[in-house]
């Protein structure tokens, strides 16, 4: 199992800057020349809590600034900003923890999971786009979300536009099983076919889409396990990544989802979707402090190009950027 650092570095050349799309009122807080006083600290706390970094995190940061101010070490907003920035940049794993893991030989399999509407299918389109266009990988996607015909159609449209292969089952009439429930094409069977197709067609990366589910839906969680089991059997070492897609606009809820999901499936990394247009970018810090999971990618819009690999330093810089970085 190897990392693919050198080539992967290419992904870091951002296609779209986080700063261009990240809305935050952190920028309006640290006005140059402003003196620290109780009002400033109060406003800082409210702003941070609103950014969804978590109350404890917000209190800790404000406490840090307050104690330095009381000790006479800092006086103005710029100095406070430096304290906050360096705290935000610290405490992440090294860049290697955020790299995508590739198979040494044979297809790499990325399994993608998450709650309904988190952004899974769109994020898969982004991964396919990056892997194909930035790394020159031969990519295949697998429509293992068989619950809705529309889900298969959505993935098909992306695959066609991006120019990657897709494995799907023909939508048929739902089959009624023993307990009277109607079921659709078996998602694990689609995954089986995709693994075989990926091997025989010399695919580099197979990305498996799955239906949205909640960790409380036992049968659906078992189904996820079944898909995973099939992948493990067909391709040794696979899935190389199980990526959990979180919707950044749901803030603290996203953190809780990740905690619950990772109790049931071995999540290896996070894809934080919808980071554009949310004032809750602070959720990234809550993730750092609460979860042992690396944020590997961030989604910054609805098209396949709206994606970046996650870089804490760049992210924090973007949070504080006063002029949107339209360079």
Residue numbers at the binding site for ligand GTP (CB under 6 A): 114, 116-122, 145, 151, 212, 273-274, 276-277, 299-302, 306
Q: Which stretch binds Mg ion (CB under 5 A): 115-123, 198-206, 260-268, 300-308?
A: 115-123
* Interface with Mg ion, residue 274, by CB under 5 A: no
Taking the least distance from each CB to ligand GTP, the nearer of 90 and 150 is: 150
Taking the least distance from each CB to ligand GTP, the nearer of 58 and 142 is: 142
Q: Which stretch binds Mg ion (CB under 5 A): 121-129, 245-253, 274-282, 308-316?
A: 121-129
For 15, 98, 250, 288, the CA distances from 292, given in Å and listed in that order, are 27, 12, 19, 7
Q: What are phi and psi of 261, to 5 degrees?
A: -60, -45
Concatenate the DSSP letters of all residues of 176-198 into one string: E-TTS-EE-S-HHHHHHHHHHHH
Of these partners, Mg ion, ligand GTP, none, which one is at the site of residue 205 (CB under 5 to 8 Å by kind)?
none
How far apart (Å, rounded) are the C-alpha atoms in residues 206 and 194?
Answer: 8
Taking the least distance from each CB to ligand GTP, the nearer of 204 and 308 is: 308
Taking the least distance from each CB to ligand GTP, the nearer of 212 and 251 is: 212
- Residue 216: Cβ-neighbour burial (10 angstroms; 0-12, 13-18, 19+): exposed
* Interface with Mg ion, residue 168, by CB under 5 A: no
Closest distance to ligand GTP from the beta carbon of 89 (Å)? 23
Of these partners, ligand GTP, Mg ion, none, which one is at the site of residue 155 (CB under 5 to 8 Å by kind)?
none
* Interface with Mg ion, residue 123, by CB under 5 A: no
Q: Which of 17, 66, 120, 288 binds Mg ion (CB under 5 A)?
A: 120
Q: Which two tokens stand for residue 57?
A: 């995190």
Could you tell me which of 133, 139, 89, 121 has the C-alpha nearest to residue 288? 89
Report whether 290 contacts 284 (CB < 8 A).
no
How far apart (Å, rounded) are the C-alpha atoms in residues 32 and 66?
Answer: 18
Closest distance to ligand GTP from the beta carbon of 236 (Å)? 28
Taking the least distance from each CB to ligand GTP, the nearer of 127 and 231 is: 127
Taking the least distance from each CB to Mg ion, the nearer of 120 and 296 is: 120
How far apart (Å, rounded) are the C-alpha atoms in residues 97 and 88?
Answer: 17
Helices and strands in the chain, H and E counts = 13, 12
Look-up of token digits 């906050």: 84
Closest distance to Mg ion from the beta carbon of 168 (Å)? 13
> Which pairing describes strands 108-113 and 205-210: parallel, antiparallel, or unpaired?
parallel
Residue nearest to Mg ion (CB): 121
Taking the least distance from each CB to Mg ion, the nearer of 210 and 309 is: 210
Q: Which stretch binds Mg ion (CB under 5 A): 15-23, 61-69, 90-98, 113-121?
A: 113-121
* Interface with Mg ion, residue 146, by CB under 5 A: no
Which distant-in-sequence residues (6+ apart) come within 8 Å of 233 by Cβ?
Answer: none
**Site for Mg ion, rule CB under 5 A:** 120-121
């Amino acid at each position: 199992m190897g990392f693919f650092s050198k080539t992967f570095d290419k992904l870091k050349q951002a296609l779209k800057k986080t700063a261009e799309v990240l809305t935050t009122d952190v920028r309006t807080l640290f006005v140059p020349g402003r003196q620290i006083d109780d009002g400033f600290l109060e406003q800082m706390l409210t702003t941070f809590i609103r950014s969804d970094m978590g109350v404890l995190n917000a209190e800790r940061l404000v406490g840090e600034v307050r104690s330095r101010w009381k000790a006479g070490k800092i006086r103005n907003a710029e100095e406070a900003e430096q304290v906050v920035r360096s705290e935000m940049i610290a405490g992440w794993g090294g860049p290697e923890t955020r790299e995508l893991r590739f198979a040494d030989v044979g297809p790499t399999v990325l399994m993608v999971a998450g709650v309904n509407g988190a952004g899974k299918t769109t994020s898969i389109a982004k991964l396919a786009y990056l892997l194909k266009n930035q790394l020159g990988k031969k990519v295949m996607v697998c429509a293992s979300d068989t619950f809705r015909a529309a889900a298969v159609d959505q993935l098909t449209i992306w695959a066609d536009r991006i120019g990657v292969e897709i494995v799907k089952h023909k939508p048929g009439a739902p089959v009624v099983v023993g307990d009277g429930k109607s079921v659709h094409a078996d998602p694990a069977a689609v995954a089986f076919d995709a693994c075989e197709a990926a091997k025989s067609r010399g695919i580099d990366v197979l990305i498996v889409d799955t239906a949205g589910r909640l960790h409380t839906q036992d049968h659906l969680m078992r189904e996820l396990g079944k898909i995973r089991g099939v992948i493990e059997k067909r391709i040794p070492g696979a899935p190389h990544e199980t990526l959990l897609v979180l919707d950044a606009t749901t803030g603290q809820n996203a953190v809780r989802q990740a905690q619950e999901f990772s109790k049931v499936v071995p999540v290896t990394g996070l894809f934080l979707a919808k980071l554009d247009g949310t004032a809750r970018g602070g959720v990234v810090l809550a993730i750092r402090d609460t979860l042992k999971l690396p944020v590997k990618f961030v989604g910054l819009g609805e098209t396949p190009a709206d994606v970046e690999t996650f870089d804490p330093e760049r992210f924090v810089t973007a949070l504080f950027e006063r002029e949107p970085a339209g360079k």
